[in-house]
Amino acid sequence: MLTTVAQAVVNGLLIGGIYALVSIGVTLIFGVVKIVNFAQGEFVMIGMYISYFLAASFGIDPLVSLVVSMPALFVVGIVLQHFFIRRVLALGDMPQIFLTFALSLLLVNVALLLFTANYRTVQTSYSETAIHIGTLYIPMAKLIAFAVAMLLSGLLWVFLHATDLGKAMRAAAQNRDVAMLMGINPDRVFCIAVGVALALAGAAGSLLMPFYPAYPLVGQVFVLMAFVAVVLGTLGNVTGALIASLMMGVAESLGIQFVGADSGLIVVFAMLLLTLAVRPNGLFGGWNR
C-alpha cells in the first residue's frame, strides 16, 4: 500500500514537471500581457511534431532537438504577440479570449489535415530503461524530462530576478503605465514574454516525445492541466504555477491509481471547481488578478 502510494507520487511528480513548463508559460503570458493563451497546448503539440520529424527524418534525439524547438517557438511567440495579440490588447474580453481560442482551433485542425489523427512515437535508447530505487520504478525518459523541466524553470526564475530584461518584465506585469514611465518599452517586453512562454511549451513538447505520443489534440491534455494549475497557483505567479503543477501531477496520478484509469481528468476538474469554490484567488497570493 505504502509503496503504491509512493510510486503514484513519483509518477505524478515526474509528469508534473512537464505540466509546470506549460503552466509557467500560461501564467507568464497572463502576468505580463494580461491575456490567457488558450493555444498554449497547441504549441506543446508543435514542439512534439518538430521533435518527431527531426527524429524520424534525421535520427536526431528529441533531447537534442530542444535546441531547434525552443528557438523556433520563441520566434513564433514574437510573431504571435507582435502581429496578433497586440492588436486586441485594447479591446474587451471577447476578442482577447477568442483570438487565442480561434488560434488553438486552427492549429489543431491544420495539424489534423497535415498529419492525420494518427499517434506518432519516437523510440530512443532510454525510452525503455528505468532506475530502481528500492521498490520504486523510475523511467529514465521521464526522469530526464523532469530534470530538464526543473532546470529550465530555475533558469527562468534567475532570468526574471537577476537580469534587467527579467526585472523589466516583472515591472511591466505589476504596472504597465509606471513601467512605461521608467523607460521600459512594453511592446518589446511583451514580445519576449510570449516568446519565452512559447519556447517553454516547445521544450515541453520535445521532452515529452521519448515517452508520449504526438497527435493533433495532445495539447488539450496539457493545457487543461495548466489552466487548473495556474488558477490553483494564483494567476500570474510563476512559482505558484510550478508548485501547483507538481501538486496537480500527484493528484492526477493518485486519482488514476485509486479511483480508476479514466478518472484522472475528473480529479483535475474537481480540484479546479473546488479551488474556485473555496479559494478563487489560488493558494499563493502574489500578483493580483
Partner 1 sequence: MISRGLMSRGTFWSAVLAAAALALPLFNSSAFVIDIFIRVLLFAFIGVAWNLIGGYAKQLSLGHAAFFGLGAYTSTILLIRYGVSPWIGMLAGGVVAMLASLPIGALCFRLRGPYFAIATIATAQVLMLLFLKFRDFAWGAEGTTMPNLGDAPLMMQFEGKAPYYYIALALLAIGLVITYLIERSWMGYYLVAVGEDEDAAEAIGVDAPRIKRNVYLISAFLTALAGTFYVQYIYFIDPNTAFSFNVSVEAALVSIVGGIGTLWGPVVGTVLLEATSALLESWLGGGHGGVQLTVYSLILIAVILVRPSGLIGIVADAYERLVHVSAARTKEVPLDG
Residues 146-185 that bind partner 1 (CB under 8 A): none
Binding flag, residue 137, partner 1 (CB under 8 A): no
43 touches partner 1 by CB under 8 A: no
Q: Would you say 194 or 272 has its CB closer to partner 1? A: 272
Whole-angstrom Cα distance, residue 225 to residue 132? Answer: 28
Question: Pick from 227, 229, 233, 237: which binds partner 1 (CB under 8 A)?
Answer: 227
Q: Which stretch binds partner 1 (CB under 8 A): 176-184, 191-199, 243-251, 276-284?
A: 276-284
- Contact range with partner 1 by CB under 8 A, out of 15-23, 72-80, 120-128, 269-277: 269-277
- Residue of the chain from 263, 283, 284, 286 that contacts partner 1 (CB under 8 A): 263
| CA–CA gap between residue 29 and residue 12 (Å, rounded) | 25
243 binds partner 1 (CB under 8 A): no
| Pick 75 or 266: Cβ nearer partner 1 | 266
Determine the Cα–Cα distance for residues 266 and 77; give it in Å rounded to an integer: 32
In the bound state with partner 1, the residue whose beta carbon lies nearer, of 84 and 159, is 84
Question: 250: which 3 cell numbers?
Answer: 500527484
Tell which positions 84-123 bind partner 1, by CB under 8 A.
84, 87-88, 91-99, 101-103, 105-106, 108-113, 117
134 lies in the site for partner 1, by CB under 8 A: no
Q: How far is the CB of 19 from partner 1 (least distance, A)?
A: 15
Stretch that binds partner 1, among 10-18, 150-158, 191-199, 267-275 (CB under 8 A): 267-275
Shortest Cβ 158–partner 1 spacing (Å): 29
Contacts with partner 1, residue ranges (CB under 8 A): 35-36, 38, 84, 87-88, 91-99, 101-103, 105-106, 108-113, 117, 216, 224, 227-228, 231, 235, 260, 262-263, 265-266, 269-270, 272-273, 276-277, 280
